[in-house]
A and B are shown apart, each in its own frame.
Chain A
């Protein structure tokens, strides 16, 4: 290679790295704005224009009653729907990766469809069915049903991917040694696949807290965290929105990092053999 083309190749490498870095910056621009605006002292009802640095918002994160109540509603829905969807989704994932059976292709497709259907279709069709069945009290129950639906697919798909290289002969070994199926599952299988299940549960919890479109159609008069922000956004955007968003971000990133570290720790002893 001549000197010129070597320089050109190196310049090309740098240009590509820079381009990728700009891509990451694009992803983080609004995040930076959200964190920064949690320290802003807004002039009116809208915390969307930078005025002055203050710690006041962080000293009163729950000052906006409606927003705090809505966050509490979201947390309760997310806790229940995550629990149900994680159990049901894991069962589907185990059935698909552990067994070969007729009809598994159809099940695979049925799992992917809810994830690839536009949320507005999932939300409006569910609401149309509830209306058709004369369900009057839209609220916690209908929202939770809807959340379990979309979380279920995510959990099943993620756990199935994690189970792809799981060694199922371990179960056979345990059963050959006389362990009954349930005990085999609880003492051998579950501890090994737990990290994957927890990762899926964490993601589906985050999906539930953040869901707007599907919830919007099935909420009735119940107000979740995103619905409260949406409903109030014409009238006011208090700085607590930015404070609580930052807190949610920090907590989920913290959980993500902790999960990764834990999984690395768990894996290390296995690598010896």
Chain B
């Protein structure tokens, strides 16, 4: 083999094992999922599925589990908006006012990820419990009526409400919002902001016309990286919610692992993934894939 062909083959050889892994354990399973979602089960307790190309499972998924899909996208969307509202200013302050403490502050944003996700969610259930600190603070401040009218609390309770689920989702995926926004803010040349100020731009106008447009790729990447895991989550709904707040993740898990109804579970998973893939493709056509993760 000549050196030239060897050089040309090297990248493919380097890609081969990892690429095979992705093909075998990511792409092939998705193909299985699609097939199972178009199959019908041979009998109630059977694990045999016959490929019938029947879309009945999708009808069940979208009608019977419509509310769960609705809540998944609603709660996921609300959590994304809230994470943006909390995360953008946080990333801004770290990037532009962090000074020499920038990496330390950014490290602090990441630290919570090193405690178990499950344990953090259980910790939230202590914080939001009926005799916990937040409910106590609310009644001490006399805000009970206000929160009740905003549909945040339910008869004085915070735990097992939609608000608790959205709050938990916001919390758990906030770092994924902050990091990409920080990266896009850090890339902005400070001289541009100075130039805007020199041209008698007010601080607010400089932000609106210079900083915000340049940080949009980070905002979109962060929103995607928050929305995807939030909408597919079932831990927060399980620990912080009630049977009335179940999301599509809870249903997929229940149909798959408890009811052994792989076909309907697969159809739901496929619909969920389809929505996400469309979002990712729209994003990557516009911004490329570099800012994701």
Contact = CB atoms under 8 A, between A and B. Distances in A.
B112 A120 contact: no
A48 B125 contact: yes
B89 A125 contact: no
A101 B7 CA distance: 11
A210 B71 CA distance: 26
Given A91-B15, A92-B19, A125-B29, A206 B125 contact: no
A24 B110 CA distance: 10
B76 to A, nearest CB: 10
A210 B116 contact: yes
Contacts of B114: 206, 248-249, 252-253, 256
A16 B92 contact: yes
B45 interface: no
A27 B280 contact: no
B18 A126 contact: no
B118 A212 contact: yes
B293 A34 contact: no
A126 B120 contact: no
Contacts of A48: 122, 125-126, 129
A135 B269 CA distance: 21
Contacts of B117: 210, 212, 226
A118 B171 contact: no
A27 B293 contact: no
Interface in A199-234: 206, 209-210, 212-213, 216-217, 225-226, 229-230, 233
Contacts of A115: 292-293
A112 B26 CA distance: 12
Interface string A78-114: 0000000000110110111011010010011111111
Contacts of B257: 216-217
Interface string B198-224: 000001000000000000000000001
Interface in A106-155: 107-122, 124-129, 131-132, 145-146, 148-149, 152-154
Contacts of B25: 126, 129, 145-146, 148-149
A245 B280 contact: no
B28 interface: yes
Nearest to A34: B123
A118 B32 contact: no
Contact of B127 (A29, A125, A161, A209): A29
A236 to B, nearest CB: 12
Contact of A129 (B14, B28, B229, B293): B28
Given A95-B11, A213-B234, A121 B33 contact: yes
B292 A129 contact: no
A127 B19 contact: no
A118 B228 contact: yes
B87 A23 contact: yes
Given A23-B87, A49-B131, A149-B22, A118 B276 contact: yes
Contacts of A253: 111, 114
B232 A120 contact: yes
Contacts of A92: 14-15, 18-19
A125 B30 contact: yes
Contacts of B234: 120, 213
Nearest to A252: B114
Nearest to B111: A253
17 contacts: A24-B109, A26-B171, A27-B111, A30-B121, A31-B111, A48-B125, A114-B26, A118-B272, A120-B272, A122-B26, A126-B25, A127-B256, A128-B29, A128-B266, A148-B21, A217-B253, A241-B122
Interface of B: 8, 10-12, 14-15, 17-19, 21-22, 25-30, 32-33, 36, 47, 49, 86-87, 89-90, 92-94, 97, 103, 105, 107-127, 129, 131, 171, 174-175, 203, 224-225, 228-229, 231-235, 239, 249, 252-253, 256-257, 262, 265-266, 269-270, 272-273, 276-277, 280, 284, 289-290, 292-293
Given A128-B33, A241-B122, 13 more contacts: A27-B112, A28-B112, A31-B123, A98-B11, A110-B26, A113-B26, A120-B253, A149-B26, A152-B22, A156-B18, A242-B119, A249-B115, A260-B107
The 8 A-B pairs with the shortest beta carbon distances in the complex, nearest first, are: A118-B232, A30-B123, A125-B29, A20-B93, A95-B14, A99-B11, A88-B18, A252-B114
